[in-house]
Amino acid sequence: MKIASWNVNSLNVRLPHLLDWLAAARPDVVALQETKLEDARFPAEALAQAGYACAFHGQKTYNGVAILAREGAIEDVQAGIPGFADEQARALAATVGGVRIIDLYVVNGQAVGSEKYDYKLRWLAAAHDWIAAERARHPDLVVLGDFNIAPDDRDVHDPAAWGDDSILTSSAERAALRRLLELGLHDSFRLFESGGGHFSWWDYRAAGFRRNLGLRIDLVLASDALRPRLTAAGIDREPRAWERPSDHAPVWLELG
């Protein structure tokens, strides 16, 4: 069972890339972020033709998350973080093939100390409590998406430039991510690769991808119970090199 995450940065623009990638990579479950589509405009028919059922939680212009599943049903769908009033469509959970899937588009936060940064930390605290409850109900749990946090210096092209004062790498953000992992979740990529230089996002500006000036901020977390089934995890850089790409690459894990 291959479970993937991809921030597509507009599903309207990226649908051809998504369809090409689904056909090539054949994931069983895909979590999408930044669909930027109202639910009425979600391309459910085109994805059904490609063999994928969909659950989606979107809005106009910004944000938007979706879960796709090849074969098998999408069950017990939850849109948004329960009990957390949020105008932004950033979270979606569903059960597929007995695995609970939680798709997160974590707040970017813009700059340390800004209002958006406060919102990011409050959002992460609410997500933590929700995930704790979900984990108690569903031992087989995968939490994945665009976390907008680089876990440590190996996940940053220039740790001197990306430190405690920077958004995506500040100590409060990294501590919030650690609190999620302390619920009994594992950063699947790090179970297979301990080296640096592996990124999932490259800025469109300044030829970031060509120069590999990236960050690893897209993560697939697997619960303790799933760890014995984990056979592989990785980042698929190829779609980032396609014409008119998303600024993020798909990330994935494989369960035996």
CB of 124 to DNA, least distance (A): 14
Q: Give whichever of 107 and 226 is closer to DNA, judged by the CB atom.
A: 107
Interaction site with DNA (CB under 7 A): 9-10, 12-13, 36, 60-62, 107-108, 110, 116, 204-207, 244
Nearer to DNA, 99 or 107 (CB): 107
- Write down the least CB distance from residue 230 to DNA, Å: 28
Q: State the catalytic residue, choosing from 28, 103, 140, 146.
A: 146
- Shortest distance in whole angstroms from residue 196 CB to DNA: 22
DSSP line for the chain? -EEEEEE-S-HHHHHHHHHHHHHHH--SEEEEE-----GGG--HHHHHHTTEEEEEE--SSS--EEEEEESS-EEEEEES-TT---SS--EEEEEETTEEEEEEE----SSTTSHHHHHHHHHHHHHHHHHHHHHHH-SSEEEEEE-----SGGGBS-TTTSSTTSTTT-HHHHHHHHHHHTTTEEEGGGGT---S---SEE-TGGGTTTTT-EE--EEEEEEGGGGGGEEEEEE--GGGGSSS--SB--EEEEE-
Residue with smaller CB distance to DNA, 199 or 222: 199
Q: Is 105 a catalytic residue?
A: yes
Active-site entry in 28, 52, 103, 105: 105
Q: How many CB atoms lie within 10 A of CB 214?
A: 25
- Measured CA to CA, the distance from residue 68 to residue 48 in angstroms comes to 9
Instruction: Name the minimum Å distance from CB 240 to DNA.
Output: 12
Shortest Å, Cβ 232 to DNA: 27
Q: Which is nearer to DNA, 21 or 99 (CB)?
A: 21
Torsion of Cα atoms, 194 then 196 then 201 then 204, to 10° = -170
User: Which amino acid type is present at position 216?
Assistant: R
Q: Please indicate whether residue 204 is annotated as part of the active site.
A: no
Q: Which is nearer to DNA, 212 or 231 (CB)?
A: 212
Which are the catalytic amino acids? Answer: 105, 146
